[in-house]
Structure 1
Amino acid sequence: MASKHTLQLIRTIVEHSTKGALGFENILNKVKVTSGGGGACTCEMQVAEEHQNRAGTLHGGMTCTLVDAVSTWALLGTDEPVAGVSVDLSVSFMRGAKVGDDIIIDAKMLKRGKRLAFLTVDITNKLDGNLLAQGKHTKYIG
């Protein structure tokens, strides 16, 4: 079970790496951590204009970035926190999300070995629960 301390640690890491960031991570500044710890992290975000593609839906690159970031935050919320380095990342896209839609990004660690960690991420529409995308992320951790 995740402690309040672990959840606060994840929130602090996210805030320091996204709020006012000069680099790419700034695109994640509207992501809110709602729970975390024990190899899991759940976030919410409202899709904004800067997250959309030309069709007016959540950009695939933004979806991949959410999979990458939130699964990494899940790893940082373990007893042995580590960000690791991506070895493999894949995303299956099921439905689009429009500007103004609230989405939930739910990451879970499936397995952690000596050198690799395997994570999965579900992105769902908060209103109706429909699965929008599902990601798998493998990270080298040591």
Structure 2
Amino acid sequence: MSSSKVAIEIWKSMVESKRFDRVLRKIKIISAHDGKCTAEMTVEEEHTNRNGTLHGGYTATIVDMITSMALVTNKQAIAGVSVDMHISYLKSASLGDQILIEAKTNKVGRTLAFLDVVIKKKESGDLVATGSHTKFVGS
């Protein structure tokens, strides 16, 4: 099975589950291959904080999971576990905004993988958040 199909199958099983991952069900994977993953979503009420903008915790979950999808499309096709995440919140995304999420694998070593993600408004290209994610991938 291709790495793209693996990522799509993993995503589908996550968002259709009864576990926490189901909060991501409104995110659509656009492409997933060669250590990269691109996804999109529309900010809906369930994704917002009391100010009506994209919730920071939801943003962190996006960073975690979309970078993980980028990682599983890498040659090693492993998910790993989080060691460290950094998120910079740059601009709010409001109810109804469409956002584009672009994640890439920078390096996979013997025990660690390093990934980056950019979240931006689809229409304007304005950066909403950037993130970096380190995952343990050793045995």
The TM-score with structure 1 as length reference comes to: 0.94
Shift of 1:9: 2.3
In structure 1, the residue matched to 2:14 is: 17
- Using the alignment, how far apart are the partners of 1:112 and 1:7 within structure 2? 18
- Using the alignment, how far apart are the partners of 1:6 and 1:33 within structure 2? 13
Which of 61, 74, 79 is residue 57 of structure 2 equivalent to? 61
1:43 aligns with 2:39: yes
Residue ranges of structure 1 left out of the alignment (5+ in a row):
none
- Using the alignment, how far apart are the partners of 1:7 and 1:99 within structure 2? 30
In structure 1, the residue matched to 2:5 is: 8
Q: Percent identity?
A: 43
- Using the alignment, how far apart are the partners of 2:120 and 2:39 within structure 1? 11
- Using the alignment, how far apart are the partners of 2:137 and 2:7 within structure 1? 18
Q: Which amino acid aligns with 1:6?
A: S
In structure 1, the residue matched to 2:111 is: 115
- Using the alignment, how far apart are the partners of 1:80 and 1:7 within structure 2? 13
- Using the alignment, how far apart are the partners of 2:72 and 2:15 within structure 1? 15
1:104 aligns with 2:100: yes
Deviations 1:83-105 (A, max 9, x none): 10100001000000011111011
Shift of 1:139: 0.3
Q: Is residue 42–residue 97 contact of structure 2 (8 Å, CA) maintained in 1? A: yes
Shift of 1:5: 3.3
RMSD: 1.1
Task: Name which of structure 1's ranges 73-82 and 59-68 shifts more when overlaid on structure 2.
Answer: 73-82
Which of 75, 78, 90 is residue 79 of structure 1 equivalent to? 75
1:89 aligns with 2:85: yes
Deviations 1:39-64 (A, max 9, x none): 11000011111100000000000000
Paired residues in the alignment total: 138
- Using the alignment, how far apart are the partners of 1:46 and 1:6 within structure 2? 26
